[in-house]
Amino acid sequence: MVTYSVLTSSDTGAVGKRVDTSGDAIVEIMDGAGHKLAERVMLRDDFDQLTHQITAWCDAGTVDVVLTTGGTGLSSRDVMPEVTRGLIDLEIPGMAEAMRAESLKVTKMAMISRAVVGARGSTLIINLPGSTGGVRDNLAVVLPVIEHASEVLQDRQSGDHPI
């Protein structure tokens, strides 16, 4: 079991003009897999606010995984990949590549996703799309390795790597 937080990046959602269905999907999937929600926040697509929130969660050491939704596209307000790259100590490109590869089987739009996956200290950070379907498709790809990745990042992994 991992403890996780959800950060939704949405200008319209942050002012109450959009329901956070992508955040709902993350919680449904993660809780369904037996993981524990620590905190859930929705913020504007603001570089500094997003940076502050992710940093606070990671540096507090209370969550294993930060899952973000939104802000991974091409609009001028989509800054989540830049925020994440500025915070991580190491990038984990295989996870982001796997998400894009599987998403391409569903939609050609997946090739314009700029999602990033990496780690700040011992906390895994995963950028997910802002759509409910995109969250479901992408999280399904990485869900089987999230717990193991967290254990390795925290030096809690014992025994052989799972197959």
Considering the entire predicted model, what is its pTM? 0.95
Amino acid at 87: L
pLDDT score of 159:
61
Is residue 129's pLDDT more than 90? yes
47 confidence band (pLDDT: 50, 70, 90): very high
Q: What is the mean pLDDT of residues 150-161?
A: 81
What radius of gyration do the chain's Cα atoms show?
A: 15
Residue environment code for 117-126, b if the CB has 16+ CB neighbours within 10 A, otherwise e? bbbbebbbbb
Two tokens, residue 45? 């697509």
**139-149 average pLDDT score:** 97
Q: DSSP letters along 10-40, please?
A: -HHHHTTSS--HHHHHHHHHHHHTT-EEEEE
Q: Which CATH superfamily is domain 3-153 in?
A: MoaB/Mog-like domain (3.40.980.10)
What span, in angstroms and rounded, lies between the C-alpha atoms of 40 and 24? 10
Burial class (CB in 10 A: 0-12, 13-18, 19+), 141: middle
Mean model confidence pLDDT for the chain: 95
Parallel, antiparallel or unpaired: strands 117-120 and 123-128: antiparallel
Cβ contact 37:66 at 8 Å: no
